[in-house]
Chain A
Amino acid sequence: MTLILDFILRLGLWLLLAPLLPGVINKVKAWVAGRRGPPVLQLYYDLARLWRKGVVLSTLASPGFIVGPAVAWVALMGAAMLVPLGTAGAALSFRGDVLLLIYLLALARFCTAWAAMETGSAFEGMGAAREVSYAVLAEAAIVAAVLSLSVQTGSVSLATMLSPSAGAGAVLLAAGLFTVLLAENCRVPFDDPNTHLELTMIHEVMVLDHSGPPLAVILHGASVKLLLFSVFLTEAVLPMGDLTPSGAAGALAAGVLTVTVSVGLVESLLARFAFRRVPLLLTTAFLLCLFALLVAWKGGVV
């Protein structure tokens, strides 16, 4: 009984807190530009509005157009359930759950790209192509990061892997994961979430034809993904296991807020990269994670 209650509580926490992050990022950007900016809770209002709206369906689209976003959202929420929160552990934890996490993220991406191509629009085809080609490089970096944590702790379970600090390679790992976070969540310098120019979009262009509740689900899923990466990054770097439960919760919240504000600052002060330069940056992120792996592997020997 308590197990189910615990599960529902966590689900509610992820559901409700995730849309806060884009609001914070936008506030930071507005602050740098000297504007008042949209309210922090704007995404909640948007989601409520979209949920009440009808859906416009292309006559060409198969049911995959609706199923894609739904499956992607469930996959992302499932991935979120695998991530431990501070000392409280994860809702689901078993040996090798980190592999499931990676696969769930990939499944979510596959479903979004699939739904994007349903309408046969040239824009969305381009967006899907861009999304998956960058994902190849971003995934390499994630796998390297996970390996380094795994070697560090000798475990393949997230709860154990994320409990200590990442050790000597923490800075490398943080830099690598932060870059991956920006790429995976389509932030500047990889993508511009605020742009209205369909030809330059990556993530946004994939959802151009979605409307109403499916769009709300996509937007909410994106915010969950952002929260998931922020939590993962914070816990990988900070020694969560050594803190008291309340201290760990505080450190986690502070860490996530720092990551979010950093994303806002990067977006305020950096121009977006040209597409052809993106692989270079993602490869750099991969190398950072790879060096973190080397430090974790051989670091203790010296």
Chain B
Amino acid sequence: MSASTPFALFANATSLPWAEVPAWPVAELVHKTGRELNRGARLCAWFGLPEGDRTCLVAVLAFDADNTLAVGRSTPFIGTYPALTLLNPQAHLFEREVWEQHGLTPAGHPWLKPVRRTAGDAPANGEFFRVDGREIHEVAVGPVHAGIIEPGHFRFQCAGEEVLHLEIALGYQHRGVETALAGGPHRATMSQMETVAGDTTIAHATAHATILESLAGAEAPLRAQWLRAMALELERLANHTGDMGALANDVAFLPTSAACGKIRGDFLNLTALICGNRFGRGLVRPGGCRHDLEPARATQLLGRLKTALADTEQALAWLWDAASVRTRFENVGVVFPAQAAEIGLVGPAARACGLVRDVRYDHPAGWHRFAQAPVAVWPGGDVFARARVRSLEIQRAGQYLGEQLAAPADGELHSEIAPPAPDTFAVALVEGWRGEVCHVALTDTAGRFRRYKIVDPSFHNWTGLALALRGTAISDFPICNKSFNLSYCGFDL
């Protein structure tokens, strides 16, 4: 299907000259994008690009079945344009973001309110969708929560214990990440990219390094690509294990909860064994990696990995063997496959709805072109399915690490890369543990960043959480929330 598309096609982790990106009047861009989305494409990014006092819109699409990405843009304009959300709901948050950042109004958008900022006021003080009725009560949770988590505001409309509607207001962690990148890359940029979402350090750092490499028309040495893939899977293992423990904790299942907290630390320490930092900071750099994994340490890593994996298997066996846990997880917080496709879910949340959607498989880049783990999919769309997918991914990531550590790539770890080419457009997708991390860059005539767009998987998936809560008991919100475990700072940027 992508053969007949008017969009410019390219592969993940490659670049193309900006002049080759087709430009249409905005109504036509919206129409064409809507048509592709309704034919099965996925919206990876939709953002504004200021040109003088006008702005042009850029659409980055993914044709998963064809392993291809596509890009198109509008001619610069000002004011109002017909909303893409009306054609496909995947765009609804993107359009709100564009409205907030550039003042372009999507005409007919059903729920146009800011994504991160509310006219200088706290997001919790914004407007919320309200359900009327004598029996309806409103519950407000956050931005300060009882646990040690990030700030975010949740507004529930409930009839008794049943949630009719949940609206999520984020923006408390907005740090201006994208603004800081304009005119970059700066000296601090790489460190900033590692902290876009602290628990997704490797994925975001890899995406950014890949962008710089493809803008330079180069590639990191194979050994660096291999090491990045190892670190990415270690990050997945640590976070998924932590999530399984947190899920067990939320249903008061003590054994798994106690064990997983400790094992998560073991996995983090393996990343520390590679680069000295438990979250992998300082490992990935444009052009390669900064720390090598010598055979002696690789052997040590493999040994410790096996122990940690065996511990995880035991802890998860307790969880899955407990009928009391399974009844808590089943049929709670269901997202239907049709809904998931409609709102463009990514990562384990999408795979738990039976959607085979994995960047490592659909748009392989780096080491994943040579070695892939099977995609972990589970039908159902409930908390059980999401936990199950995590559980499967722990197994497969462990197996993948075992195989790949035994057959490392040889050669250099780092190579000098040229500065970014001028007027070039690049996209890098990386399958982080939460899902698709998307970085998009466009350089100006001097080869500096003219626009840098980051889409964290959480940006796609928060809507999924809101949908999962519909018709669910409000007391099940914590396990639904944990089963998605989305990032607040990755969304807020």
Which A residues contact B (CB, under 8 angstroms)? Answer: 29, 32-35, 122-123, 125-126, 129, 188-189, 192, 194-200, 267-277
Contact = CB atoms under 8 A, between A and B. Distances in A.
Interface in B231-277: 248, 250-255, 257-258
A197 B139 contact: no
Given A33-B257, A126-B139, A272-B251, 6 more contacts: A32-B255, A126-B474, A196-B147, A199-B477, A200-B477, A200-B478
B161 interface: yes
A277 B251 CA distance: 14
Nearest to A195: B252
Contacts of B137: 122, 125
Contacts of B255: 32-33, 268-269
24 contacts: A29-B254, A32-B255, A33-B254, A33-B255, A35-B258, A122-B138, A123-B139, A195-B250, A196-B146, A198-B141, A198-B146, A200-B250, A200-B475, A268-B254, A269-B254, A270-B252, A270-B322, A270-B324, A271-B322, A272-B252, A273-B327, A274-B332, A275-B473, A275-B475
Given A126-B139, A189-B324, A198-B146, A274 B476 contact: yes
Contacts of A188: 252
A251 to B, nearest CB: 30
Instruction: Find the residue from B139, B252, B332, B475 having the highest chain A CB count within 10 A.
Output: B252
B327 to A, nearest CB: 7
Contacts of B254: 29, 32-33, 267-269
A267 B252 contact: yes
Contacts of A273: 324, 327-328
Interface of B: 137-141, 146-147, 160-161, 248, 250-255, 257-258, 322, 324-325, 327-328, 332, 473-478
A217 B160 CA distance: 30
B138 A271 contact: no
A277 B331 CA distance: 13
A36 to B, nearest CB: 12
Contacts of A269: 254-255, 322
Given A271-B328, A274-B332, A276-B473, A122 B250 contact: no
Contacts of A196: 146-147
A274 B252 contact: no
Contact of B327 (A123, A198, A277): A277
Contacts of B257: 33
B250 to A, nearest CB: 7
Given A199-B475, A273-B328, A122 B252 contact: no
A200 B475 CA distance: 4
A125 B161 CA distance: 11
The 6 closest A-B pairs by CB, nearest first: A33-B258, A272-B252, A271-B253, A271-B324, A192-B252, A196-B146
Nearest to A192: B252
A43 to B, nearest CB: 19
A51 B474 CA distance: 34
A200 B332 CA distance: 14
A34 B185 CA distance: 48
A133 to B, nearest CB: 10
Contacts of B147: 196-197
Contacts of A198: 141, 146
A199 B476 CA distance: 8
A64 B375 CA distance: 58
B258 to A, nearest CB: 4
Contacts of B138: 122
A198 B250 CA distance: 11
A57 B169 CA distance: 29
A207 to B, nearest CB: 13
Nearest to A191: B252
Contact of A271 (B160, B325, B332, B478): B325
Contacts of A270: 252-253, 322, 324
A167 to B, nearest CB: 32
Contacts of B328: 271-274
A192 B251 CA distance: 8
Contacts of B322: 269-271
B141 A199 contact: yes
A32 B328 CA distance: 22
The residue in B250, B474, B475 that gathers the most chain A C-beta atoms within 10 A of its C-beta is B475
Nearest to B161: A275
Most B CB contacts (10 A, CB to CB) among A126, A189, A270, A274 go to A274
A33 B254 CA distance: 7
B197 to A, nearest CB: 23
A208 to B, nearest CB: 9
Contacts of A197: 146-147, 250, 478
Contacts of B475: 199-200, 274-275
Contacts of B161: 126, 275
A29 B258 CA distance: 10
Contact of B474 (A195, A199, A277): A199
A188 to B, nearest CB: 5
A246 to B, nearest CB: 37
A201 B482 CA distance: 16
